[in-house]
């Protein structure tokens, strides 16, 4: 029964993606992956229920199929965090699956009766081959999961270099999916197939839950706006923060150039109060200064010794301290002042304030004997 649940949910999610308008590269990868999961669960359900006598043409095809899941997750992650790879490059990740399929070709060419007999005898004469494929599958799965985690780590670092906020673009839900699949590979090492596929069903539920919760994956994306209401060029879940343009990443700025750009930056921030814009990003500031974003990033890193995220949020915390010290502002709530200073959530404000000052906002106010309205 649990396999039927997984089959229905994965098929339903596939249909949702198929009917979605303006599908991204990530959507297409997830659609194909969910179709493969549906097929894989169907084949395992048939074999585990001993109904394979009615469907002998399926026998053997399920053996190499686990080799495709980690590459699909890896491609899904890279579709969010880097420039989409060419289709030929994507196909290279499925070479192990193709080789495993070729290795079981002698079995696939057997008559239906011979296939059934092999399965009834517990895979006799094919144990070494299936064990080899199983071992390669586990190694491949773990390697791809760690590669996916590496890309997500690089993405996390990159958004702090390019954005003043991390909410909705930190891909935490995708990190959860990678950890979930990694857990399945660990479980596969210790438990029989029926338990592994039970966890696969839970994983499909996991994909559905986070996918529906994350706006724009299984539904047509909403108009892209930042937390302040300004329209963005792209939806949150598709904002690309890929590796820096090689033309600029190794460029060297003289001390005079650094100071000149930094001086213009401070003047711009002081006059325009850009740090009060909740959805502020590096490109927006660089455009105002008429410099390349990577050049501006170098200036902030070398002069301020901070990334863009920390630089802007330090300014926001400073702004909050100045506002809260004025008696006329003490008739407002703490959260309303935080929003005025550019923070887009209570969680973001509390976390950044404590990281910068070493105190929570309430502790800071208590020490200064400042009381805001509740």
pLDDT at 23: 83
Residue at token pair 């399920």: 62
143-159: b or e for each residue (b if 16 or more CB lie within 10 Å)? ebbebbeebbeebbebb
Instruction: For the chain, list residues with pLDDT below 70.
Output: 1, 52, 83-85, 211-251, 374
pLDDT at 244: 44
DSSP class per residue in 155-169: HHHHHHHHBS--TTT
Instruction: List the structure tokens of 197.
Output: 């596929």
Q: What are phi and psi of 346, to 5 degrees?
A: -65, -40
pLDDT at 198: 85
**CA angle at residue 162 from 156 to 165, to 5 degrees?**
70
Cβ burial of 79 (10 Å; 0-12, 13-18, 19+) is buried
Cβ burial of 130 (10 Å; 0-12, 13-18, 19+) is middle
pLDDT in tens, 279-299: 899 999 999 999 999 999 999
Which fold would CATH assign to domain 311-374? Answer: Arc Repressor Mutant, subunit A (1.10.10)
pLDDT at 167: 75
pLDDT at 216: 56
The domain ranges of the chain are 2-213, 244-305, 311-374
- What pTM, to 2 d.p., does this model score? 0.78
pLDDT at 85: 66
Q: How far is residue 322's CA from residue 15's CA, in Å, rounded to a whole number? A: 53
pLDDT at 62: 87
DSSP class per residue in 171-208: -HHHHHHHHHHHHHHHHHHHS-HHHHHHHHHHHHHHHH
pLDDT at 234: 40
**Contact residues for 186 (Cβ-Cβ < 8 A; gap 6+):** none
pLDDT at 238: 40
Q: How far is residue 183's CA from residue 73's CA, in Å, rounded to a whole number? A: 14
């Amino acid at each position: 029964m649990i396999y039927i649940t997984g089959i229905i949910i994965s098929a339903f999610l596939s249909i949702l993606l198929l009917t979605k308008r303006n599908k991204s590269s990530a959507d297409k990868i997830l659609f194909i992956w969910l179709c493969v999961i549906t097929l894989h669960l169907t084949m395992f359900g048939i074999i585990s229920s001993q109904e394979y006598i009615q469907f002998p043409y399926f026998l053997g095809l399920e053996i190499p199929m686990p080799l495709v899941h980690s590459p699909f997750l890896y491609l899904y992650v890279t579709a969010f965090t880097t420039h989409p790879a060419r289709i030929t490059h994507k196909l290279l990740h499925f070479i192990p699956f193709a080789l495993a399929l070729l290795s079981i070709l002698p079995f696939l060419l057997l008559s239906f009766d011979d296939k059934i007999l092999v399965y009834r005898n517990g895979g006799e004469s094919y144990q070494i081959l299936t064990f080899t494929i199983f071992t390669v599958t586990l190694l491949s799965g773990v390697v791809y999961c760690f590669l996916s985690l590496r890309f997500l780590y690089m993405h996390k670092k990159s958004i702090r270099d390019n954005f003043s906020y991390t909410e909705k673009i930190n891909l935490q839900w995708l990190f959860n999916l990678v950890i979930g699949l990694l857990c399945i590979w660990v479980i596969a090492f210790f438990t029989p197939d029926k338990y592994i596929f039970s966890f696969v069903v839970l994983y499909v539920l996991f994909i559905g839950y986070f996918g529906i919760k994350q706006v724009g994956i299984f539904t047509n994306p909403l108009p892209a706006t930042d937390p302040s209401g300004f329209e963005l060029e792209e939806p949150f879940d598709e904002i690309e923060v890929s590796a820096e343009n090689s033309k600029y990443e190794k460029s060297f700025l003289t001390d005079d150039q650094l100071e000149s750009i930094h001086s213009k930056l401070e003047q711009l921030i002081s006059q325009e109060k850009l740090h009060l814009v909740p959805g502020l990003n590096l490109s927006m500031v660089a455009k105002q200064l008429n410099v390349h974003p990577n050049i501006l990033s170098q200036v902030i890193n070398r002069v301020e010794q901070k990334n863009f995220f920390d630089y802007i949020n330090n300014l926001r915390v400073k702004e909050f301290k100045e506002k809260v010290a004025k008696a006329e502002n003490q008739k407002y709530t703490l959260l309303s002042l935080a929003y005025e200073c550019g923070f887009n959530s209570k969680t973001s404000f509390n976390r950044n304030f404590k990281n910068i000052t070493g105190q929570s906002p309430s502790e800071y106010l208590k020490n200064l004997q400042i009381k805001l309205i509740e």
